Amino acid sequence: MLRIVGKILIGLGAAGLVGATIWWYMFFEQMLGQSVKRASECFYSTTTECEIGNLIGKFGDVPAYTPAALWISLGVFNVGLIAFGFSSRRDSETAGEDDG
């Protein structure tokens, strides 16, 4: 059961990471065009420049990007990895007891 939960969390975390990347790109691309790389720091943190961009961007089509989406997704992904790893370890220990 823990193995299944781990896989689900890994999948949700990965989907969240992809979604956060797309959201970041779409939001800052509408403001900066081809210069979207200038906002690379805004992907993982909120600096003064990012906050100013978010205030300006509220008038665009895409809602203002927040790095919380990235960090929550990373957290879910890591919890999934830990759960999956723990279940694999537990399964191997249980298999060793059956052999003895």
Residue 81: CB atoms within 10 Å: 14
Q: What tens digit of pLDDT does each residue of 14-67 get?
A: 999 999 999 999 888 887 887 888 888 888 988 887 877 667 666 667 788 889
Could you tell me the residue range of the domain that residue 95 belongs to? Answer: 2-99
56 or 11, higher pLDDT: 11
SS3 65: coil
Number of domains in the chain: 1
C-alpha–C-alpha distance, residues 54 and 27, integer Å:
9
Q: What tens digit of pLDDT does each residue of 62-100 get?
A: 788 889 999 999 999 999 999 998 886 666 666 555 444
C-alpha–C-alpha distance, residues 15 and 8, integer Å:
11
C-alpha–C-alpha distance, residues 50 and 15, integer Å:
24
pLDDT at 1: 86
Residue 51: CB atoms within 10 Å: 12
pLDDT at 91: 64
